[in-house]
Amino acid sequence: GNSVTQMEGPVTLSEEAFLTINCTYTATGYPSLFWYVQYPGEGLQLLLKATKADDKGSNKGFEATYRKETTSFHLEKGSVQVSDSAVYFCALRVFGNEKLTFGTGTRLTIIP
């Protein structure tokens, strides 16, 4: 079956620190990979995506590279801000099936 494993949280960093949130996946088909973010009191929003091996998704200073050889899609940001505090979800979608399979989420807190 399809599954996503995420780095367990919570993660607490100081402002301007470097961020990595690990994500690995298992898929029966050829997946597209996504990072969704959930800010306090809001719904899930797409942060970035990658649809094939070696693609790099990027948005708001965040990046993630689709690594087929390691089945990974780690989220990185060079300098985090307080406003990045949220819960981050890694997810996959396999070709031919529209549903998303999510990881358990990683809560990120950035302190000034």
Partner 1 sequence: EAGVAQSPRYKIIEKRQSVAFWCNPISGHATLYWYQQILGQGPKLLIQFQNNGVVDDSQLPKDRFSAERLKGVDSTLKIQPAKLEDSAVYLCASSPIGAADNSPLHFGNGTRLTVT
Cα 39 to the center of its chain, rounded Å: 14
Our finding on whether 109 is near partner 1 (CB under 8 A) is no
SS3 73: coil
Of the two residues 13 and 100, which places its CB atom closer to partner 1 in the complex? 100
Radius of gyration from C-alpha coordinates of the chain: 13
Our finding on whether 98 is near partner 1 (CB under 8 A) is yes
Of the two residues 77 and 93, which places its CB atom closer to partner 1 in the complex? 93
Q: Report, in Å, the least distance between residue 69 CB and partner 1.
A: 20
Which of 1, 41, 69, 70: binder of partner 1 (CB under 8 A)?
41
CB-count burial class (<10 Å; 0-12, 13-18, 19+) for 52:
exposed
Size of the site for partner 1 (CB under 8 A): 28
List binders of partner 1 among 45-64 (CB under 8 A).
45-46, 49, 51
Which of 34, 62, 66, 73: binder of partner 1 (CB under 8 A)?
34
75 neighbors 64 (Cβ within 8 angstroms) = yes
Of the two residues 11 and 94, which places its CB atom closer to partner 1 in the complex? 94
- Phi (first) and psi of residue 83, to 5 degrees: -70, -10
CA dist 82 and 20 (Å) reads 16
